């Protein structure tokens, strides 16, 4: 008899089906090898697939997260989507839960069809040369707008490139440039200071993702970048929002906060809605 695993497909950071970022959640995955998980992630061919495992000490559940090309220690939309799915299925309680993943133990609050994820420890890198990033996104130096690009992260690093809003809309991944300059990923965005709102796009060819409709880990890290750039208060909590995915026909909304002290980000959160769209069984490779 052929072995199978149950799975659910959900749209994350979405208010209706077929928007947001789709996620495959493979349940009862404790007997799968790393190679089998990677093969399944390639088969789903979504930006990420999660595999739910029994929890370790101090957690409510454990997940492993795969893109079509690699395993990630942590990612935002898979964390939000998996938590809401498990609560909806009655596998974990609603409210405050702890997810165990490669990035450590992370707190998530599940309320109905929505979850709020708290990122890991913020990190901030040095400024980087914008030229390879601009080339990868099909842009030029004339599109630059704002502070220089630099790396920031809260468990998963991203490199942030601030450009005009028109440039965000017109950006196109140049795979040849990405290979030439060895650029694995770049997050291009514009910033509306009055609304505290970003329009973002993520190109990640190094992870097998040509473009991501909604990126929770980047949304969390953007708060770290914004505080360092002086675009959000350097003390106390500030809310900001991100629109992503419209250029792909999958509009997404990510609601975020960053808490800073002494000019440095100390804590970031990202929240969004999760909509179920499909369920089934997948054959174990």
Catalytic hit among 43, 48, 211, 237: 48
Task: Report in angstroms the alpha-carbon separations of 55 from 9, 35, 75, 103, 104.
Answer: 22, 21, 18, 14, 12
Is 35 a residue of the active site?
no
Q: How many helices (H) and strands (E) are present in the chain, helices listed first?
A: 6, 17
Q: Enumerate the β-bridge partners of residue 150.
A: 127, 160
Residue position matching structure tokens 């130096």: 141
Residues 6+ apart with CB under 8 A from 148: 127, 128, 130
Torsion of CA 185, 253, 99, 154, to 10 degrees: 40
Tokens standing for residue 3: 């072995």
Length of the chain: 285
For the annotated catalytic residues, the residue numbers are: 48
């Amino acid at each position: 008899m052929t072995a199978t695993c149950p799975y659910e497909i959900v749209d994350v950071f979405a208010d209706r089906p077929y928007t947001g970022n789709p996620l495959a959640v493979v349940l009862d995955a404790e007997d799968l090898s790393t190679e089998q998980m990677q093969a399944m992630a390639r088969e789903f061919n979504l930006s990420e697939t999660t595999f739910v495992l029994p929890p370790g000490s101090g957690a409510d559940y454990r997940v492993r997260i795969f893109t079509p090309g690699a395993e990630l220690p942590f990612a935002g939309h898979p964390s939000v989507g998996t938590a809401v799915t498990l609560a909806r299925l009655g596998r974990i309680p609603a409210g405050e839960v702890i997810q165990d993943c490669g990035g450590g133990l992370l707190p998530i609050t599940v309320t109905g069809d929505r979850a709020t994820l708290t990122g890991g420890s913020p990190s901030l890198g040095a400024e980087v040369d914008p030229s390879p990033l601009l080339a990868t996104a099909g842009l030029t130096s004339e599109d630059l707008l704002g502070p220089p690009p630099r790396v920031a992260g809260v468990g998963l690093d991203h490199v942030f490139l601030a450009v005009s809003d028109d440039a965000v809309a017109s950006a196109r991944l140049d795979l040849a440039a990405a290979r030439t300059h060895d650029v694995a990923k770049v997050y291009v965005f514009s910033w509306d200071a009055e609304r505290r709102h970003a329009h973002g796009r993520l190109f990640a060819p190094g992870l097998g993702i040509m473009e991501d409709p909604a990126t929770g880990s980047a949304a969390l890290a953007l708060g770290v970048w914004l505080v360092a750039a002086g675009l959000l208060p350097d003390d106390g909590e500030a809310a900001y929002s991100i629109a992503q995915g419209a250029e792909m026909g999958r509009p997404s909304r990510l609601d975020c906060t960053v808490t800073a002290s002494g000019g440095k980000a100390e804590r970031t959160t990202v929240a969004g809605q999760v909509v179920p769209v499909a369920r089934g069984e997948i054959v174990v490779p």
